[in-house]
Structure 1
Amino acid sequence: MIRNHRGLTFIELLVSIAIVSFIGIIIVSTLSQSVNYSQKSISKNFIQQEANILNTQLIKIHQKSKQYVLSNSNCEINVSITNKDDSTQTQLFTNTKLCYSINLSGIVIPGQEDKNLILTVSDRNDPNNSIKITTLLYRLKDGGF
C-alpha cells in the first residue's frame, strides 16, 4: 500500500529558506542604498540653499555699504561694515553644521571696483560634501548718469 505523503523534505526546506534569505538580502541592500542617496541629496540641497542665502547677503552688504572688512577663520565669515552714514556694525556668518570660507579678506570699498568672490560651503562632518559658488560683487559706480 502506497501512501501519498504531503509535506516538504528537509532539503526542500533548506533550499526555500536560502532563496528567501537571498531575496531578503537584495531588498535590504537596495533599501539601504536608496536611504543613503536620499540623505546625501537632502544634505547637498541644504548646503546649496545655505550657500545661496549667504551669497545674497554678501552681495547686499557690498551694494549698500560704504566699505567693509572681510575676515575668514574657523569656518566663520566676519564682516565689519561701515555704512554710508559712517555708522558701523559687525555681522558674523556661522553655522554649527557647516563650514564657510571665502577667497577675499581685508578692506573692500564697493564704489571703487568689483570683486570676484568664491564662496565655499561644506559639511563639517563630511568636507567632501561641499558647494562652491563663484560670483561677482558689483555696484554701480558713484557719479553715474
Structure 2
Amino acid sequence: MTIKNERGFTLVEVLATLIIFSLVFILVWSIFFQGTNYSKKAVSKNQLQQEANVIISSLNSIHKRSTEYSVTSNSCSFSIQYTAHNVAKTEVFENSQMCIKLANSFTNPVYPKTTNVEIELIIEEKDHPNNKVTINTLLSRLKEEQK
C-alpha cells in the first residue's frame, strides 16, 4: 500500500527550521541588548558631561566675581566658600548618583594676586565608576588695574 498524499513536514525539516529560527532570534536579541546597553552608557556619559559643564560654569563665575574663596573636598563632593560683594557664601557641589571630585584643592585668598587657576574636575557614576568624565580647565579673570 502506497500513500500518494505526502503533504507535511518531516521531523528533520521541523528541527532544522527551529534551529535556524533560534539562531536568528538569539542574534537579534543580543544586538538589541547591546544597543540598549550602549544607549544607556551614552546617555549617562552625556549627563556626566552636562553636570561637569554646569560645575565648571559655576566655578568660573565664582572665580571671576569673588574677592576670595577656598575649596574643601570630600569623598564624592566638594564645597566652595567665597566672598562676593562683602557677603560670605557657601556652595556645595554634590549629586546623589554621581561622585564629583577635584583632583587638586585650591584656594584663592586675595583677588588681584591670582588671575588663573588650573583645576581638574572628575565626575563618575556611583554605580559604574568606570563611566567617568575628566575635565582639565583653567579658571581665569582679568587683572584689575592698579591705581
TM-score over 0.5 for the pair: yes
Distance (whole Å) between structure 1 residues aligned to residue 146 and residue 99 of structure 2? 38
Identity of aligned residues (%): 33
- Aligned partner of 2:67 in structure 1 is 66
Distance (whole Å) between structure 1 residues aligned to residue 29 and residue 146 of structure 2? 65
Q: Which among 121, 129, 145 is matched to residue 123 of structure 2? A: 121
Offset of 1:110 from its aligned partner? Answer: 4.0
TM-score by structure 2 length?
A: 0.91
Question: For 1:3-82, what aligned pairs fall within 5 Å after superposition?
Answer: 3-82=4-83
Distance (whole Å) between structure 2 residues aligned to residue 138 and residue 87 of structure 1? 22
Aligned residue identity for 2:145:
G
Distance (whole Å) between structure 1 residues aligned to residue 21 and residue 111 of structure 2? 68
Q: Unaligned 5+ residue runs, structure 2?
A: none
Distance (whole Å) between structure 2 residues aligned to residue 128 and residue 136 of structure 1? 25
Question: For 1:95-110, what aligned pairs fall within 5 Å after superposition?
Answer: 95-108=95-108, 109-110=110-111
Q: Unaligned 5+ residue runs, structure 1?
A: none
The alignment of Structure 1 onto Structure 2 pairs a total of residues equal to: 144
- Aligned partner of 2:92 in structure 1 is 92
- After superposition, the CA RMSD in angstroms is 1.6
Distance (whole Å) between structure 2 residues aligned to residue 37 and residue 128 of structure 1? 14
